[in-house]
Amino acid sequence: MKNNVLVVHGGGPTSVMNASLYGVLKEAERHSQIGAVYGAIGGVEGILKENLLNLSEFQGAKELLLHTPGSAIGSSRYPVTEEDYNKTPIILKKYNIKYILPNGGNGTMDTCGKIYKSCIEAGYTDIKVVGIPKTIDNDIAITDHTPGFGSAARYLAATVREVAEDVKSLPIHVCIIEALGRNAGWITAASVLARRKKGDAPHLIYTPERPFKEEEFLTDVKKLYDKLGGVVVVVSEGLKKEDGTPVVDPIYKTDRAVYYGDVSAHLANLVIKRLGIKARNEKPGLCGRASIAWQSPVDCQEAQLAGEKALEAAIKGHTGVMIGFKREKTEDGSYKIGIIEIPIEKVMLLEKTLPDEYINVRGNDITEEYIKWLQPLVGPKFEEFLDFKEYYKEKE
């Protein structure tokens, strides 16, 4: 009897989540001992409800996954109980699933570790559990970066560049753009790539790793407004005051998820009321998470690779690990990543935030070190697409 594979998606989708699923399907083709590749419809609940779709029956359409946003098999933030974990190995055994590959972020890796533990406790040591990393927030520990982040970073940088052109054309107000990322400022910081030269927007960048100081913010905005007329500010949804409380109270919270209030709207109102300057806010939100138009080709390739390597590792008998990326040194300094396997307990609900050296002293901008780290992830030809004049000259 051939061994079956199960892919489970968890948490918020990305523009390359399906590319990892494609990678699993491609890798499965290389191994004659693999039978069906199942997708759990709607995340972990799909396992518990035994709502499993045989993806091997759709091989002819699998290439479409590479450029399809969201999750082709659905995802969830289902709060898994101890009883659920006890049921899972029995269901996996029923469908002869020998390899289970949870694809997601911190919360999903926690689920991955607990499924691994439940299989061991049930005596089903032949079931191998390998995590596939995914999150636009880039906050999974150990790995250099995560699939989904590069595309979200590319989208935000492009959006800020476009907004900056608008504000520069009609320099009469302050525009505050709010970025996703929860407690980590990786995406917010990526807006720095919108600049072509010193002095370009974004003029101020605030990440959650540093306390947000309201008076300093207003001082900086006023100074820039008096000089430029139009100011672009990028802020994280997770900004916190000096006492550690959110700048804006969350509108909804669960054990794992936090739905933040409108930080950008709050700060725009602050500028209007305290400085008497016209201000507006923009909140791209899910647009950046789902954008295929700004999908990073590097991100897509690495997401596929993560899926391939996860199944390859499981087939080799590796279990209780997550696939991760590590940068390798090259003679010419070019970007190259290697695949590593990280013990799952080292990434379960552990959050990686933006290192201090990537943020300037005042806490309102991003350093050159971060730019160098980020640039390879957004993909080749990024600048030519953003540099409008040069791009259209080339086309002519």
CA-closest candidate to residue 113, choices 319, 305, 313: 319
Show binding-site residues for substrate: 135-137, 180-182, 237
> How many other C-beta atoms lie within 10 A of the C-beta of residue 333?
8
Domains of the chain: 3-135+143-147+293-346 (3.40.50.450), 149-289+353-390 (3.40.50.460)
- Predicted local confidence at residue 250, as pLDDT: 77
Active-site annotation holds for 137: yes
Residue positions forming the annotated binding site for Mg(2+): 106
Active-site hit among 137, 139, 220, 299: 137
For residues 257-288, one letter each, b for 16 or more C-beta atoms within 10 angstroms of the residue's C-beta and e for the rest, the string is eeebeebbbbbbebbeeeeebebebbbbeeeb
How does pLDDT run along the chain (396 residues), one tens digit per residue? 799 999 999 999 999 999 999 999 999 999 999 999 999 999 999 999 999 999 988 877 899 999 999 999 999 999 999 999 999 999 999 999 999 999 999 999 999 999 999 999 999 999 999 999 999 999 999 999 999 999 999 999 999 999 999 999 999 999 999 999 989 999 999 999 999 888 999 999 999 999 999 999 999 999 999 999 999 999 999 999 999 999 998 777 666 566 677 999 999 999 999 999 999 999 998 999 999 999 999 999 999 999 999 999 999 999 999 999 999 999 998 999 999 999 999 999 899 999 999 999 999 999 999 999 999 999 875 565 555 444 344 444
What residues have CB less than 8 Å from 389, skipping those under 6 apart? Answer: none
Instruction: Return the pLDDT at 391.
Output: 39
CB atoms within 10 A of CB 91: 16
Q: What is the pLDDT of residue 254?
A: 65
What's the token pair of residue 359? 């943020």
Which residue ranges are tagged as binding site for diphosphate?
12
Which pTM does this prediction carry?
A: 0.94
Residue 61, pLDDT score: 83
pLDDT given at position 396 = 42
What does the pLDDT read at residue 255? 63
Tokens standing for 98? 């020998």
Alpha helices in 235-381 (DSSP H): 263-270, 286-290, 297-315, 368-374
